[in-house]
A and B are shown apart, each in its own frame.
Chain A
Amino acid sequence: MSAAATALPGSGRIARGVRPDTRKALAADAPVEALPAPPTVTLPLVQHTGAPCVALVKSRDTVEADAKVADTDAFVSAPIHTPVAGTVQRAGVVTLPNGRHLAAIPVKTAEGAPGPEAVYADVLGGDWPLDDADGRDPEDVLRAIREAGLVGQGGAAFPTHVKLKPNPEKPVDTLLVNGCECEPYLTADYRLAVEAPAAVLAGARLAARACGARAIFVAVEDHLHGARQALRGAAGPTDITVAEVQTRYPMGGEKQTVRAVLGRTIPTGGLPLDVGVVVINVATAAAIARAVQRGKPLTHRIVTVTGGGIRTPKNLLVAIGTPYRALLDACGGLTEEAARVVAGGPMMGFAIGDLDAPVTKGTSGVVALTRADVRHAAETACVRCGRCVDVCPLNLVPSRIALAARHKDWDLARRYHMAACMECGCCAYVCPASLPLVQLMRMGKAQMPRETGG
């Protein structure tokens, strides 16, 4: 560990957790390639955590690229923009990998869409001045972020302007940019940090300006040397600290990163805000820079397409709304061994049931796993070996909670703090009995009756 990392307020490490094979070498050295616009993009009306948007366009309307096609007045929400110029088709319903059925607007791409080089230059290229944040009004920055439809691109897709809006009761002193990317296989954040570090840092500056943070930390796992070097090079002698943290899953979880980098513990059920921190993903930071400095909405994102079941793993810059199938085709398609295609990483991602479903704002990767990767022994009896307890990053007793959920014993589930579980999957990853621990806990959390009174 470098000297800089030891100077962090936190230890740079997390307790427990697991060390799955990262498999990042598959795609880590593949430069980001822009994917040409597909014949049709499909834009679900909910691509974030919060209120659904309402369509602003109707069938047969002609739209320009970057035009807003859906919005709402609700605060916790984010508008949706079309990445391509074209014609709006009849609204339909899509089923996303997470199982949600959502209304969606298809847009048929018009002729003459910009080529891959132009898209890359538009989204990631050019200069990203680091020094223009201080001159901006925080309100303007927040407004630009809201109008650009930014959501957290690490997975949870929480609207960014909501996260950054200053709360007088909970002042923020630190902005933490999360580039840990602790999910195995995924390299989208890594490639972004290598290829456009200035965009990440410029966005971080703007985000800090918006939320009132004075200190800025960028966290990367210690095996991602390229990302660390690129970010340190771009940061130069600024106030931005590039923090190296231990490579251990789930380092990228908010609670874990904040504790590792800053040594602060987010209370159960609370937010980083409760300890004076705002955490944003590196891709979100880059999108903030693009939204504020260039006035561009969130219409494209980097998606890692990788895994043993894909012929040529790549990092693709794709239009949001592109079907997963087009991403797989651009990477040579699936191999015969492919058995499961996962949206997101293999630990917390969702298996894709319909390859025609579109990429959304929160899609960080597509991992094609082989039969050997997903081979799972049949479930056997829990022998209470306690491995799940040994790896739980939140210090829970997963096997107890899962069995309580299976038998709907809500008192027991409460006593073992079921609601604190963040579903990272470490327990199920190590379970010698192959118990579906995460599935049981998810089911339990959804079914447990809300406490009354109190």
Chain B
Amino acid sequence: MATDVEANGAAEPVLEVAPGPHVASGSLTTRRMMGDVLLALLPLVVVAVALFRQAALLQMAIAAVATVGGEALFARWRGRRATLGDGSALVTGLILGLSLPPGAPWYVGAIGGLAAAGLGKAVFGGLGQNIFNPAMVGRAFVMIAFPAALGAEAYLAPAAAAATTGATPLTALQMTGEVAPLGPLWLGLTAGSVGETGALAALAGGLYLCIRRTAAWQIPTGMLLAAAVIAGLVSLAGGSFTPAHHLGAGALMFGAFFIATDPVSSPLTPKGRFVFGAGTGALVMLMRTLSGYPEGVMFAILIMNAFTPLINRATIPTPVGGPVPRRA
């Protein structure tokens, strides 16, 4: 069109055309979310190392290396660029390591990490596509493959540091009806998986995640609430564990804040997240009280992961102003 105004001599910068919005908050990236999780895991890692020394370090290192390596390997096989930069594989590996018993043989973490990266994630199409929590897929895989290495006996193995060797509080409850004192239970001075014993540490890191909104607060809230209510009923019915015991025991706190909150395998909407959390908490209590397993966090989360698409479908929010009217 008109060229009358083009007489401006200065060289013009090249202008690009792109769809809006033309600005982005930039404060949040997938990588930063994963960095947040790593930071929030720090208290748990400190407790784990303090309790189990090199056994803890070894479990975390083996699982992390195996998961990250597995991610790179499977990405290569699929002809994709490895997405290690986002830190998601590292988070998966670390959570897997923290969920293993300190005395597990080295190949358990290694195979678990490969299963987490491969069966947990790559087979579904990589980050964002997996239906189940990859760390829990890895853990379930090794639990079924090596029952002896992950059963109650694993926590008695001599590799674990002296102070905390013995049956886990939940196993003890199931076997002998013995009730662990609350203080050591919450501080983590009990037998258990590398990173699950420090309930207080998990709570601290988890609250940080919720405040940063990297984890959706509705999930741990729903999960702990449901577990507490059911634990209360059980205790009224004559159970020897109070709700405070149940919340502090096993992987409940760790699972509520760090495992169930995996965004990929949990629902999208606030309401859906609460339902998901409550369902997980209820399943944990169901397994703890009625099943042969002393603990149930892993299976509870995997089962609820399977329900995530259904929960999403059932909790589609109504738009402001009501649903879109159907055209006549």
Q: Return the 6 tightest CB-CB contacts between A and B, nearest first.
A: A381-B128, A425-B21, A268-B321, A39-B4, A420-B319, A439-B19
Which residues on the B side are within 8 Å of A356 (C-beta)?
Answer: 1-3, 5-6
Q: What's the Cα separation between A42 and B3 when bound, in Å?
A: 12
Q: By the criterion CB–CB under 8 Å, are B321 and A420 in contact?
A: yes
Q: By the criterion CB–CB under 8 Å, are A436 and B19 in contact?
A: yes
B interface, over-half SS: loop
B235 at interface, CB cutoff 8 A: no
Contact stretch, chosen from B29-37, B46-54, B147-155, B156-164: B29-37
Q: By the criterion CB–CB under 8 Å, are B321 and A334 in contact?
A: no
Q: By the criterion CB–CB under 8 Å, are A397 and B268 in contact?
A: yes
> Quick one: given A346-B23, A386-B216, are A339 and B15 in contact (CB under 8 Å)?
yes
B residues neighboring A (CB under 8 Å): 1-6, 8, 10, 12-26, 28-30, 32-33, 83, 86, 88, 126-129, 213, 216, 263-264, 266, 268-270, 273, 312-313, 316-328
Q: Apart from A323-B1, A347-B20, what are 5 other A-B pairs with CB-CB below 8 Å? A: A42-B1, A351-B18, A374-B16, A432-B29, A438-B21
Q: What's the Cα separation between A48 and B269 when bound, in Å?
A: 38
Q: By the criterion CB–CB under 8 Å, are A184 and B23 in contact?
A: yes
* 13 contacting pairs across A/B (C-beta < 8 A): A20-B25, A106-B1, A323-B5, A325-B5, A340-B22, A376-B18, A382-B128, A383-B128, A383-B264, A417-B316, A417-B323, A428-B21, A451-B327
Q: What's the Cα separation between A338 and B14 when bound, in Å?
A: 8
Measured CB to CB, the closest approach of chain A to B129, in angstroms, equals 7
Measured CB to CB, the closest approach of chain B to A104, in angstroms, equals 8
Which residues on the B side are within 8 Å of A337 (C-beta)?
Answer: 13
> Quick one: given A323-B2, A385-B263, are A338 and B15 in contact (CB under 8 Å)?
yes
Query: Which single member of A38, A40, A376, A396 contacts B317 (CB below 8 Å)?
Result: A396
Q: How many residues of A are in contact with the other chain, CB < 8 A?
A: 93
Most buried by A among B8, B30, B126: B30
Q: Across the two chains, which residue of chain A brings its CB closest to B308? A: A384
Q: By the criterion CB–CB under 8 Å, are A395 and B318 in contact?
A: yes
A399 at interface, CB cutoff 8 A: yes
Q: What's the Cα separation between A38 and B4 when bound, in Å?
A: 9
Residues of A392-429 whose CB lies within 8 A of B? 393-397, 399-400, 414-420, 425, 428-429
Q: What's the Cα separation between A333 and B213 when bound, in Å?
A: 42
Q: By the criterion CB–CB under 8 Å, are B263 and A384 in contact?
A: yes
Q: By the criterion CB–CB under 8 Å, are B5 and A347 in contact?
A: no
Measured CB to CB, the closest approach of chain A to B309, in angstroms, equals 11
Which residues on the A side are within 8 Å of B25 (C-beta)?
Answer: 18, 20, 429-430
Q: Across the two chains, which residue of chain A brings its CB closest to B127? A: A381
Q: What's the Cα separation between A355 and B2 when bound, in Å?
A: 11
A residues neighboring B (CB under 8 Å): 15, 18, 20, 38-40, 42, 92, 94, 104, 106, 184, 255, 259, 265-270, 309, 323, 325-326, 329, 333-342, 346-357, 367, 369, 373-377, 380-387, 389-390, 393-397, 399-400, 414-420, 425, 428-434, 436, 438-439, 442, 450-451, 454
Q: By the criterion CB–CB under 8 Å, are A386 and B263 in contact?
A: yes
Q: By the criterion CB–CB under 8 Å, are A374 and B5 in contact?
A: no
> Quick one: given A329-B8, A396-B317, are A269 and B324 in contact (CB under 8 Å)?
yes
Query: Which single member of B5, B18, B88 contacts A329 (CB below 8 Å)?
Result: B5
Q: What's the Cα separation between A454 and B1 when bound, in Å?
A: 48
Q: By the criterion CB–CB under 8 Å, are A341 and B15 in contact?
A: yes
Q: Across the two chains, which residue of chain B brings its CB closest to A185? A: B23
Q: By the criterion CB–CB under 8 Å, are A346 and B22 in contact?
A: yes
Measured CB to CB, the closest approach of chain B to A230, in angstroms, equals 29
Q: By the criterion CB–CB under 8 Å, are A106 and B2 in contact?
A: yes
Q: By the criterion CB–CB under 8 Å, are A397 and B316 in contact?
A: yes
> Quick one: given A369-B23, A454-B326, are A386 and B317 in contact (CB under 8 Å)?
no
Measured CB to CB, the closest approach of chain B to A348, in angstroms, equals 6
Q: By the criterion CB–CB under 8 Å, are B13 and A339 in contact?
A: yes
Q: What's the Cα separation between A122 and B273 when bound, in Å?
A: 59
Q: What's the Cα separation between A126 and B113 when bound, in Å?
A: 77
Q: By the criterion CB–CB under 8 Å, are B2 and A42 in contact?
A: yes
Q: By the criterion CB–CB under 8 Å, are B316 and A415 in contact?
A: yes
Measured CB to CB, the closest approach of chain B to A61, in angstroms, equals 18
Most buried by B among A369, A380, A451: A380
Q: Across the two chains, which residue of chain A brings its CB closest to B312? A: A400
Which residues on the A side are within 8 Å of B266 (C-beta)?
Answer: 384
Q: What's the Cα separation between A20 and B129 when bound, in Å?
A: 30
Q: What's the Cα separation between A350 and B21 when bound, in Å?
A: 9
Q: What's the Cα separation between A417 and B13 when bound, in Å?
A: 41
Q: By the criterion CB–CB under 8 Å, are A432 and B321 in contact?
A: no
Query: Which single member of B86, B127, B320, B328 contacts A393 (CB below 8 Å)?
Result: B320
Q: By the criterion CB–CB under 8 Å, are A268 and B126 in contact?
A: no
Measured CB to CB, the closest approach of chain B to A414, in angstroms, equals 8
Q: By the criterion CB–CB under 8 Å, are B321 and A267 in contact?
A: yes
Which residues on the A side are within 8 Å of B21 (C-beta)?
Answer: 346-348, 425, 428-429, 438
Which residues on the A side are within 8 Å of B264 (C-beta)?
Answer: 383-384
Q: Across the two chains, which residue of chain A brings its CB closest to B29? A: A432
Which residues on the B side are within 8 Å of A396 (C-beta)?
Answer: 317, 319
> Quick one: given A184-B23, A348-B20, are A395 and B8 in contact (CB under 8 Å)?
no
> Quick one: given A106-B2, A356-B5, A381-B127, are A417 and B324 in contact (CB under 8 Å)?
yes
> Quick one: given A39-B5, A356-B2, A395-B317, are A268 and B15 in contact (CB under 8 Å)?
no
Most buried by A among B12, B21, B213, B316: B21
Q: By the criterion CB–CB under 8 Å, are B5 and A255 in contact?
A: no
Q: By the criterion CB–CB under 8 Å, are B317 and A432 in contact?
A: no
Q: What's the Cα separation between A425 and B3 when bound, in Å?
A: 35
Q: Across the two chains, which residue of chain B brings its CB closest to A40? A: B2
